[in-house]
């Protein structure tokens, strides 16, 4: 068994569209050739999903986290929003796939509410 991650765009109607990790990286790098014009001027919910795989196929969902990303008028990630959210998102992916966590992300599964 292995582990992996998926990035999904959550549409307003609840439907999901997978976003390739390479494409997300190009969006995060603000590659001027990588735009999502359908989301121009919008804030979009992104699901970061940690999965368990068998024979390279998804077998189980281990964890899901959501972030909101803002797109500018051309469909490019808003730089300020991107930096804030993607830093947290990348830290979450790391903690979803391993028991090691960073000091910036608190694993709420082990936090007492008393």
The tens digit of pLDDT for each residue in 3-22 reads 888 999 999 999 999 999 99
Query: For 103, phi and psi rounded to 5 degrees?
Result: -65, -20
What gap in Å lies between CA 63 and CA 7, rounded to an integer? 12
Coil, helix or strand at residue 23: helix
Mean pLDDT of 83-106: 61
Nearest 5 degrees, angle CA 45-CA 50-CA 55?
130
pLDDT higher than 60, residue 105: no
What the block records as the tokens of 102 is 């960073």
Residue 76 is predicted with a pLDDT of 93
Domain regions of the chain by residue span: 2-110
Residue 34 is predicted with a pLDDT of 92
pLDDT confidence tier of residue 87, bands split at 50, 70 and 90: confident
113/23: higher pLDDT = 23
For the chain, give the mean pLDDT: 81
- For the entire predicted model, the pTM comes to 0.68
Residue 29 is predicted with a pLDDT of 86
What the block records as the tokens of 64 is 């899901």
Residue 68 is predicted with a pLDDT of 86
């Amino acid at each position: 068994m292995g582990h992996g991650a998926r990035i999904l765009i959550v549409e307003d109607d609840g439907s999901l569209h997978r976003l390739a990790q390479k494409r997300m990286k190009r969006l995060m790098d603000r590659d001027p050739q990588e735009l999502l014009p359908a989301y121009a001027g919008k804030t979009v919910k992104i699901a970061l999903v940690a999965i368990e795989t068998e024979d390279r196929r998804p077998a189980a969902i281990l964890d899901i986290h959501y972030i909101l990303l803002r797109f500018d008028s051309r469909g490019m990630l808003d730089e300020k929003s991107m930096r804030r959210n993607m830093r947290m998102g990348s830290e979450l992916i790391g903690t979803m796939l391993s028991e090691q966590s960073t000091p910036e992300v608190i694993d709420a599964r082990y936090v007492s509410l008393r």
